[in-house]
Structures are given as C-alpha cells and as structure tokens.
Structure 1
Amino acid sequence: AWLKGDAAETGRLNRVNTRDIHEDIHRAALVVRNADWTNQIETMMQGSGTAFVAVGAAHLMDQDSVIDMLRAKGFTVERL
C-alpha cells in the first residue's frame, strides 16, 4: 500500500497491527515524537543549505502524521 501511495490503506494496516497498543504508548511512540520532529524539521528548514529527513512509514500516515503537522505549519509536502 505504501509503495502505491495509498496512505489511507497504509494507515489502516498500521492501526490493525497496533490496535492492542495502549493509547498512551501510541501517543508516546508516534504523536509526541511526530510533534517533536516537526519542530526540528521546521528549524532545519529555516537554515541555509539542504535538509534531509528520514523517518519510518508509520510517522507519515494517518492523523497526527509528520506530514499533516508540517502542512499545518504552512509547508508544502508531497510524496516523491
């Protein structure tokens, strides 16, 4: 699903695989880290030069993703 660019299906599969994880663990593992990374990426983008960021696919899909958080800050984000 990820290779085809189907973020909705990738997110659904991720939720199926992690449905037994407690909400607090999910927040710590994904949501809080995504917010931290988003702030760090924003800082990197304000500097000069080229920025390269790599994260696991789980951080790029579903609500509260790094992508959604960057878009909320006004960045244009596209899948390559």
Structure 2
Amino acid sequence: MNISKHEQRVLHELALGGAILHERGASGKIRKVTCVTREGHILSDCTLEVFQRLKRRRLIHSKQGQPYRVSRLGITTVRAQLNQR
C-alpha cells in the first residue's frame, strides 16, 4: 500500500506506543487531532487530513471513544525504521 511520508511517520509513532487524541465539535464530527508519542511529545506531522486518510484506509482505529491507536493492518503496513530494527 502506498502511503505518504507524513502518514508513514504517524504510523511509526503509533506502532511504538503513541496515540491520537481527538476532539469532537458540536455536530459530533472530529474537528481537532493531536498525535502524542509514548514519551509525551506532540507530533506536528499529524494533521486532520492525515488522520482522515489513515482512518479511511483502516490503518488506525478507536475502541469505545478511546484515543486512536494503530490497527493490525497499520502495523503490517508500516516500514521498519532505524530505531525499530
């Protein structure tokens, strides 16, 4: 599956234990997302557009309103990076 550099970076951080926190608007739609690494740092590559593409491709998922995490498909899609080898 072809994914962009920004999507790859977000998936990599999620695979290492990060999460995507989301805020919903009055209509119930997600209006703001924040990607947090396992160390607590904010990832600036995670925009609402990147989030929607990852969600549409089912690379991330949320259970019962919890923060979004990487799905099994997302883990198999992400390429290995230096600190993961």
Do Structure 1 and Structure 2 share a fold, with TM-score over 0.5?
Answer: no
- Structure 1 or 2: larger strand share? 2
TM-score for the superposition, normalised by structure 2: 0.29
Q: Which has the higher contact order (CA 8 A, sep 6+)?
A: 1
Q: Larger Rg: 1 or 2?
A: 1
- Structure 1 or 2: larger helix share? 1
